[in-house]
Amino acid sequence: MVVKSELKLIKNLQQKKYRNEKGLFVMEGKKAVEELLESGFEVFKLYSMDQKLRGSWASQVQAISMKELKQVSSLKNPNGVLGVFYKKSIPSLDMDGWTLVLDDVQDPGNLGTIIRLCDWFGIENIICSKETVDCYNPKVLQATMGSIVRVNIFYMDLAEFLKSAEVPVFGTFMEGENIHKTKLPEKGILIMGNEGNGISEPIRSLCNHEISIPQFGKKTTESLNVATATAIFLNEIKRRG
Amino acid sequence: MVVKSELKLIKNLQQKKYRNEKGLFVMEGKKAVEELLESGFEVFKLYSMDQKLRGSWASQVQAISMKELKQVSSLKNPNGVLGVFYKKSIPSLDMDGWTLVLDDVQDPGNLGTIIRLCDWFGIENIICSKETVDCYNPKVLQATMGSIVRVNIFYMDLAEFLKSAEVPVFGTFMEGENIHKTKLPEKGILIMGNEGNGISEPIRSLCNHEISIPQFGKKTTESLNVATATAIFLNEIKRRG
């Protein structure tokens, strides 16, 4: 049995406010929890219904019932393992290679997919506007598939960051230069915008280059989803390397 | 007020079995419904709480209450407009250019995103295995953002289809040839596999080429999401055109 105060804490950690206040976050699922453990995330508490965790963590696990899990889980169908972790301490920002900047990405699934893409393509740092969805949001964590352990995510004032940048800044727009024909430097910043509105005007004015993915089908007013567009831009950056 | 039998029909159309039996499907949202109307999808019934549809369709709209909508909608927060449409009649398959083949893609969001990508990149035909999620599933339709009107989607026995194919068949695998260095023909077939298991063995044996997206980060066992991988492969095919 889990005491009420702990259940309340886990439930509260679904909210960004509490995650920031406590410096904690929740991960669900055996595989994802083990990946965090192995990558050195510091444990606050571990809970499991009946599954054993690998190695020496098994002894730290507290039993939890399905009824209790259902009270606190962010999943429709909780899958039996839940860990509360301390947030990662972020190293100082090292602008080697390319850096990804997100201007108000709102959808948790999109941010999670983008973190996973950065892991795949070896992009170490993501700089998010303060309004971008929190990377410790449970839906983001589920979508990262554990990649969050290998990517550093910073939240800061984008305009300030970009003003002091010493590498070329590439913003992505519907009407930019064809990425297939754009010369790309070894180091740079790639900016992806909000799902509905794209890159905001103040940030646009700080871009040195405007680039886009050419449309091959019948022209429509639709754009690509921000996560799939990020996939294409990161692949374009890396294929020239 | 909507009569009970109609409410029941709309609710039933959430299931593939009924969609196939009736040849009908449901689309929700003013923008998406108007896009289907404009693209020539034949209307069975239109419902709206208080929003007016464009042009001559306004007169065909039947009033529906929020209570009724909530009974039949597949959305947590129904947005006031719902249309029941006849499924599109599929033209005969014309294998010009590249064709995308999906081997048991299960997630509706992934299929929707892939349809949207095909629309963007001018891929006219998607061939799905019979086990691939139904393209008229409400979650697929929401994720396509209307692109379904411009892409033809076929469900058939993949092995049979591939055996009779007259163009080279490219399967995507974790350990295939680097797509950045692969020569691609003008016409071909690209196969994407299931989210968990990739391309099945019987289909793999029908591939002429095995290709992959190189990993640039620290090597992990993770793969890319099937929709983001599709984005990268389609961009690679089109950038050489």
Per-residue pLDDT tens digits for A165-207 = 999 999 999 999 999 999 999 999 999 999 999 999 999 999 9
Give residue A108's pLDDT band: very low, low, confident or very high (50, 70, 90): very high
Residues B64/B174, Cβ–Cβ less than 8 Å: no
Give the pLDDT confidence of B120-131 residue by residue, as tens digits: 999 999 999 999
Give the pLDDT confidence of B184-193 residue by residue, as tens digits: 999 999 999 9
Picking from A120, A215, A218, the nearest residue to B216 by CB comes out as A120
Residue A237 predicted with pLDDT over 90: yes
| pLDDT at site B217 | 80
Domain boundaries B98-239, corresponding CATH code: 3.40.1280.10
Phi-psi region of A217 (alpha: psi -120 to 50; beta: other; left: phi over 0): beta
| pLDDT at site A32 | 84
Residue B44 predicted with pLDDT over 80: yes
Q: Hey, which of A27-31, A48-52, A148-152, B160-164 has the most confident mean pLDDT? A: B160-164
Picking from B216, B222, B229, the nearest residue to A147 by CB comes out as B222
Give the pLDDT confidence of B97-113 residue by residue, as tens digits: 999 999 999 999 999 99
Give the pLDDT confidence of B54-92 residue by residue, as tens digits: 888 888 899 999 999 999 998 878 889 999 999 988 888
Nearest partner of B28 among B120, B141, B116, B109, judged by Cα: B141
pLDDT: is B40 or A71 the higher one?
A: A71
SS3 B157: coil
Chain B contacts of A231, Cβ < 8 Å? Answer: 224, 228-229, 231-232
- Which of B34, B224, B236, B237 to mutate: most A Cβ within 10 Å? B224
Which residues of chain A form CATH 3.30.1330.30? 4-86
Q: Locate the chain B residue with the closest alpha carbon to A121.
A: B216
What is the distance in angstroms between the CA of the first residue and the CA of the last residue of chain B? 54
Rounded Cα distance, B108 and B105, in Å: 8
| pLDDT at site B221 | 62
What's the CA dihedral at B73, B77, B81, B82 to 10 degrees? Answer: -20
| pLDDT at site A93 | 84
Average pLDDT, chain A: 92
Rounded Cα distance, A215 and B168, in Å: 24
Give residue B4's pLDDT band: very low, low, confident or very high (50, 70, 90): very high
**Residue A13 CA, distance from chain mean position:** 17
Give the pLDDT confidence of B204-226 residue by residue, as tens digits: 999 999 999 999 987 776 789 99
DSSP for chain A reads ---HHHHHHHHHTTSHHHHHHHTEEEEESHHHHHHHHHTTPPEEEEEESSPPPSGGGGGGEEE--HHHHHHH-SSSS--SEEEEEEPPPPPPP---SEEEEESS---HHHHHHHHHHHHHHT--EEEE-TTSPPTTSHHHHHHHTTGGGGSEEEE--HHHHHHT--S-EEEEEEEEEEGGG----SSEEEEE-BTTTBS-HHHHTT-SEEEEPPP-SS--S----HHHHHHHHHHHHHHT-
C-alpha distance from A56 to closest chain B C-alpha (Å): 23
Residue A127 predicted with pLDDT over 80: yes
Average pLDDT, chain B: 92
Query: Do residue B235 and residue A235 have CB atoms under 8 angstroms apart?
Result: yes
Residues A192/A101, Cβ–Cβ less than 8 Å: yes
Picking from B217, B235, B241, the nearest residue to A119 by CB comes out as B217
Q: Which residues of chain A have a Cβ shorter than 8 Å from any chain B Cβ?
A: 109, 113, 116-123, 145-147, 150, 180, 213-218, 220, 222, 224-225, 227-232, 235-236, 238-239, 241
Residue A241 predicted with pLDDT over 80: no
Residue A129 CB-half CA count within 13 A:
17
Residues B195/B159, Cβ–Cβ less than 8 Å: no
CA-based Rg of chain A, rounded to a whole angstrom?
20
Q: Locate the chain B residue with the closest alpha carbon to A229.
A: B231
**Does the structural domain A4-86 have CATH classification 3.40.50.300?**
no
Alpha helices in B51-104 (DSSP H): 66-72
Sign of the CA dihedral running A222, A227, A228, A232: positive
| pLDDT at site A221 | 62
- Which of B115, B174, B222, B240 to mutate: most A Cβ within 10 Å? B222
Residue B241 predicted with pLDDT over 80: no
- Percent of chain B at pLDDT above 90? 75
CA distances for B3 relative to A71, A168, A211, B63, B68, angstroms = 38, 62, 52, 11, 10
| pLDDT at site B209 | 98
- Which of A115, A145, A228, A233 to mutate: most B Cβ within 10 Å? A228
| pLDDT at site A169 | 98
**Residue A55 CA, distance from chain mean position:** 28
Chain B contacts of A214, Cβ < 8 Å? Answer: 238
Chain A contacts of B118, Cβ < 8 Å? Answer: 217
Query: Do residue B120 and residue A222 have CB atoms under 8 angstroms apart?
Result: yes
